[in-house]
Amino acid sequence: MPVPNSQENMSRCVCGSCPSYLEGDSGFFCSLGKSQKSLEKKGCICNTCGNWEEVGLSAGYYCAEGRAE
């Protein structure tokens, strides 16, 4: 399910605390799309994010796989 690109949804993003997150990256990948950086999958904490239940997400790793559809 798409995640609306709103300030409220962006503020819920916990990517910055994720082991796969690279410093300086955008975060909010479920809405903005995948990272431009070359990252390694070291775990995904999307399921602890407020948007996970709110929007009904189920995949994770949006930084590597692209936005939620």
Question: Rule CB under 6 A: which residues touch ligand SF4?
Answer: 3, 12-15, 18, 20-21, 27-30, 44-46, 49, 51-52, 57, 60-63
Measure the CA–CA gap between 3 and 49, rounded to whole angstroms: 12
- Taking the complex as a whole, the smallest distance from the CB of residue 30 to ligand SF4 amounts, in Å, to 3
- Taking the complex as a whole, the smallest distance from the CB of residue 26 to ligand SF4 amounts, in Å, to 10
Query: Would you say 63 and 25 are in contact if contact means Cβ atoms under 8 Å apart?
Result: yes
Q: Which long-range contacts (CB under 8 A, 24 or more apart) does 7-10 make?
A: 9/51, 9/54, 9/55
- Taking the complex as a whole, the smallest distance from the CB of residue 58 to ligand SF4 amounts, in Å, to 10
